[in-house]
Amino acid sequence: MSGDMNKEVYDGSFRGSSFLQLVSDAAAFHCLSLAEARSLPGCRFAKQSILLSALAIESAANCVVAEIGLTKPQQRKLAKESSMEKFRQALAWRGRPFDARREEVRRAAALIQVRNDLAHPKAFKDSVSIEIKHEGDRRLLSTELELKDSGILGIRNKPMGWNSDASLVALNVLNAFSGYLFDSALGRIDKDLALIFGSYIASDRGHVFFLSAELPDFEEAIANGIDLSAFRRFETVVDGSF
């Protein structure tokens, strides 16, 4: 502790987590996608939002696993599993069930699969109509691609079909799954959840200070029709850092 009577200085440690940052960025890029849709035909911001929503779910799985305190061999073994299997095994070690049949879980798994499909190029089997016009020595090619959706999500499974409507769907999937994870699967109090999923500084005297900067802009989210109700609990914990 410092000798200055006007301040206290302690040793401490920082624990960083990407989860809430990914949630915040997913919401921010969706808001940008709304503006982009009014000026450009592309889907760059919507794509970023969808990918970040999927990454947030994967990050949440790693947060849940990290809290258990596994041995190095156990960590390496579990690292090879899918995110949903990480949730299942980590919760089983806590004696809690993880219902993979719930719609929130199945939609979250489908969102991760959409992300995986984008990361691993493959030949598309969607129907393509090809038209070639001859104009002198030139040949003009035009195509019409019938984009299929991803089933349970109801969004296109190819990024060229994504827009702000699709990124809003992804955020709704993230929010619904997180609500199930926090309230039903984990069933922990908000302070414990913040310690699992948030970034914070802890002093050697037991003080814990959460980082408010990583939280979403909830008012902007509401103004743009985004439901982030599952994450409002972290705002309360941050305001009352202990």
Classify residue 73: in a domain, yes or no: yes
Classify residue 2: in a domain, yes or no: no
pLDDT at residue 222, as a whole number = 95
Dist CA 109 CA 96 (whole Å): 19
Classify residue 218: in a domain, yes or no: yes
- For the chain, which residues score pLDDT lower than 50? 1
> Strand 208-210 and strand 12-15: pairing?
unpaired
Dist CA 30 CA 170 (whole Å): 10
Q: How far is CA 162 from the centre of its chain?
A: 17
Amino acid at 124: F
pLDDT at residue 126, as a whole number = 57
Classify residue 64: in a domain, yes or no: yes
pLDDT at residue 42, as a whole number = 55
pLDDT at residue 85, as a whole number = 96
pLDDT at residue 141, as a whole number = 66
Classify residue 75: in a domain, yes or no: yes
Classify residue 119: in a domain, yes or no: yes
pLDDT at residue 102, as a whole number = 97
Residues making up the chain, counted from first to last: 242
Classify residue 110: in a domain, yes or no: yes
pLDDT at residue 120, as a whole number = 74
Classify residue 6: in a domain, yes or no: no
Indicate the pTM of the whole model: 0.84
CB proximity list for 214: less than 8 A, separation 6 or greater:
20, 21, 24, 198, 199
Name the helix (H) or strand (E) containing 235: helix 232-239
- Structural domain boundaries enclosing 131: 12-239
Total domains, the chain: 1
Dist CA 99 CA 108 (whole Å): 12
